[in-house]
C-alpha cells in the first residue's frame, strides 16, 4: 500500500510581486512526495512558505516553476481528490452544520438523497451526531473545527491537507480532536489515503506524522527530513517520543544558527522580539530547576510556547551573546547570568554593550549618529541600506527590532513622527 505515490512535488518555485517592484521569493526548489498510508508534516517558522505550498497542491494557486502531480497527472486547478482543512473554521454562519457539510457535495451535482446521506455519515463520523441543525454560533471552537473536517471528508478525498487545523483551539480541545482523528485513521474509518499537516508545534508533528519535513526560510525549501518510527498510539511520556522532539529542536536550532552565520553584518534578518520577552526568558532559564541551562522542549512546555514564539526569543539571546543555542539546549552566558541578577540600570548597560558589540545595525546607527555634527539621521537612510541585503518587509522588521532594543538600552532615540534617529536621550 505504501508504495503507491499519491502526490509528487518537484523543484517547485513560487514568488510574489513586491509593491516597490521586483519579487519576493517564497518557495524555491521544493521537493516532496506523499505515499498512500502516510501522514507527512511540514514544520518550520512563519514565512517559510508552508501554507503557500498547500495552496499550490490544492490547485488554488499555481507554481512559477517545477511540477506538482496528483496520481501521476499534473495539477491544473483544484483536483477532485484533494480537500483542505484551514486554521480558521471558515463556516457560513447562516447555514446549519448539515448545510455547511453538504456544500461541497452540492457543487458535485449529486442527487439530493445521496448528498444528505453522505453529509450525515460524515457528521456522525467526526463526532457531531445530533448537531445537524445547529448553527456555528451555537458550537464551541472544537465543534466548529469538527464541522470543517466533516466538510473536507464528505467528498471522499484521497489526500487531506491540513493548515494548522488545531492552532486556534485551546490545548485540551486540540488534543481531543487530534486523538479522535488519529483513532479514525488507525481504524481505517476515514475515506482518505494520505495527509499533509502544516504545523508550528513540534510535539504535534511527532505525535501525528510518519515523516516530518523541516522547512528553511527566505526562501522556503525542504532543509531536512526526520522519519518518526514509533507505533501508534504514541505517548508523549515515551522516551523515544522525547528523543524525536529533541532531535527536531536540535536540527532546527543548528540550521538557524548556520543561516545567521552565513548572512552576518547588515544582512542579518532580525525577528521583532520585545526586551520584556528577552528578559523574561533569561529569568526563566536562570531560575530553578534550570539554573542557567534549559532543554528547549522543556522550557517551551513550561512556558507554553511554540517554536514560532520561543525560537525568535532564544535566537535574540544568542545574537546578543546573553545565551547560546546548541544541541537543542539554551544556555545562559556569563553576561546572561549577570543580566538575570542585575537591577534595571545595570541591565540597560549590559544590553547596550551587547548591541554595540554584536548587532551590526545598532552599532552602525550609533556610529553614524556619533560622527554627524547634529547627531541625527533619517530612517530612510538605514532602510535603503538594509534593502540591499533583504526584502522591504524584512528591512522594516529588522529596523523596528533595533529601535525597540536601543530604546530599552538608551543607546539612541527615534522619533516615529519625524522618522529621525538622534542622540537626544542616550545613556
Determine the pLDDT at residue 19: 66
Confidence band (pLDDT; 50, 70, 90) for 305? confident
pLDDT, average across residues 309-326: 89
Is 137 strand, coil or helix? helix
Q: Percent of the chain having pLDDT more than 70? A: 95
Confidence band (pLDDT; 50, 70, 90) for 425? low
309 pLDDT exceeds 90?
A: no
Determine the pLDDT at residue 218: 76
Q: Which residues contact 388 (CB under 8 A, 6 or more apart)?
A: 266
* Whole-structure pTM value: 0.76
pLDDT, average across residues 37-44: 93
CA–CA dist 177, 146 (Å, integer): 8
Determine the pLDDT at residue 209: 95
Confidence band (pLDDT; 50, 70, 90) for 1? very low
246 pLDDT exceeds 60?
A: yes
Determine the pLDDT at residue 20: 66
pLDDT, average across residues 397-423: 92
Which segments within 203-259 are labelled E, that is strand?
211-216, 221-227
99 pLDDT exceeds 50?
A: yes
pLDDT, average across residues 263-279: 79
Q: Which of 49-63, 145-159, 349-363, 385-399 has the lowest mean pLDDT?
A: 385-399
Determine the pLDDT at residue 256: 61
Mean pLDDT of the chain, nearest integer: 87
CA–CA dist 106, 101 (Å, integer): 10
C-beta atoms surrounding 224 within 10 Å:
15
356 pLDDT exceeds 50?
A: yes
Confidence band (pLDDT; 50, 70, 90) for 106? confident
- Asked if residues 268 and 257 have their Cβ atoms less than 8 Å apart, the reply is no
- Asked if residues 185 and 39 have their Cβ atoms less than 8 Å apart, the reply is yes
**The three cell numbers locating residue 406:** 536601543
CA–CA dist 7, 389 (Å, integer): 36
Confidence band (pLDDT; 50, 70, 90) for 394? confident
pLDDT, average across residues 5-26: 84
Greater pLDDT, 113 or 388? 113
Chain centre to alpha carbon of residue 80: 28
Determine the pLDDT at residue 264: 55
pLDDT, average across residues 240-249: 89
Greater pLDDT, 48 or 47? 48
200-216 pLDDT, tens digit each:
888 899 999 999 999 98
Confidence band (pLDDT; 50, 70, 90) for 320? very high
Greater pLDDT, 77 or 3? 77
261 pLDDT exceeds 60?
A: no
Amino acid at each position: 500500500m505504501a508504495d503507491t505515490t499519491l502526490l509528487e512535488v518537484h523543484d517547485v518555485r513560487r514568488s510574489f510581486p513586491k509593491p516597490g517592484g521586483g519579487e519576493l521569493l517564497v518557495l524555491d526548489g521544493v521537493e516532496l512526495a506523499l505515499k498512500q498510508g502516510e501522514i507527512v508534516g511540514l514544520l518550520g517558522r512563519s514565512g517559510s512558505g508552508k501554507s503557500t505550498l498547500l495552496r499550490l497542491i490544492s490547485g488554488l494557486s499555481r507554481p512559477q516553476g517545477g511540477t506538482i502531480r496528483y496520481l501521476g497527472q499534473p495539477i491544473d486547478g483544484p483536483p477532485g481528490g484533494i480537500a483542505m482543512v484551514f486554521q480558521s473554521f471558515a463556516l457560513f454562519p447562516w447555514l446549519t452544520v448539515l448545510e455547511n457539510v453538504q456544500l461541497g457535495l452540492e457543487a458535485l451535482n449529486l442527487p439530493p438523497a445521496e448528498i444528505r446521506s453522505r453529509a450525515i455519515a460524515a457528521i456522525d463520523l467526526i463526532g457531531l451526531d445530533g448537531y445537524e441543525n445547529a448553527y456555528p454560533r451555537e458550537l464551541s471552537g472544537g465543534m466548529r473545527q469538527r464541522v470543517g473536517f466533516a466538510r473536507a471528508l464528505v467528498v471522499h478525498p484521497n489526500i487531506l491537507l491540513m493548515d494548522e487545523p488545531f492552532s486556534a483551539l485551546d490545548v485540551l480541545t486540540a488534543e481531543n480532536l487530534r486523538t479522535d482523528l488519529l483513532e479514525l485513521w488507525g481504524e481505517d474509518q476515514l475515506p482518505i489515503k494520505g495527509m499533509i499537516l502544516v504545523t508550528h508545534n513540534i510535539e504535534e508533528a511527532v505525535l501525528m506524522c510518519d515523516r516530518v519535513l523541516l522547512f528553511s526560510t527566505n526562501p522556503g525549501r525542504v532543509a531536512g527530513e526526520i522519519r518518526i518510527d514509533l507505533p501508534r498510539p504514541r505517548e508523549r511520556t515515551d522516551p523515544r517520543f522525547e528523543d524525536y522532539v529533541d532531535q527536531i529542536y536540535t536540527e532546527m536550532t543548528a540550521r538557524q544558527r548556520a543561516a545567521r552565520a552565513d548572512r552576518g553584518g547588515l544582512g542579518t534578518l532580525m525577528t521583532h522580539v520585545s526586551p520584556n520577552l528577552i528578559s523574561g526568558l533569561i529569568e526563566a532559564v536562570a531560575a530553578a530547576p534550570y539554573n542557567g541551562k534549559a532543554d528547549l522542549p522543556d522550557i517551551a512546555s513550561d512556558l507554553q510556547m511554540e517554536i514560532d514564539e520561543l525560537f525568535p526569543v532564544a535566537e535574540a539571546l544568542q545574537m546578543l551573546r546573553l545565551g547560546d543555542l546548541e544541541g537543542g539546549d539554551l544556555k545562559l552566558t556569563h553576561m546572561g547570568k549577570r543580566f538575570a541578577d542585575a537591577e534595571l540600570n545595570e541591565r540597560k548597560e549590559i544590553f547596550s554593550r551587547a548591541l554595540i558589540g554584536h548587532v551590526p545595525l545598532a552599532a552602525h546607527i550609533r556610529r553614524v549618529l556619533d560622527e554627524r555634527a547634529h547627531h541625527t539621521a533619517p530612517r530612510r537612510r538605514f532602510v535603503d541600506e538594509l534593502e540591499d541585503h533583504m526584502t522591504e518587509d524584512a528591512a522594516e522588521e529588522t529596523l523596528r527590532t533595533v529601535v525597540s532594543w536601543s530604546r530599552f538600552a538608551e543607546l539612541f532615540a527615534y522619533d516615529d513622527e519625524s522618522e529621525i534617529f538622534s542622540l537626544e536621550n542616550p545613556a
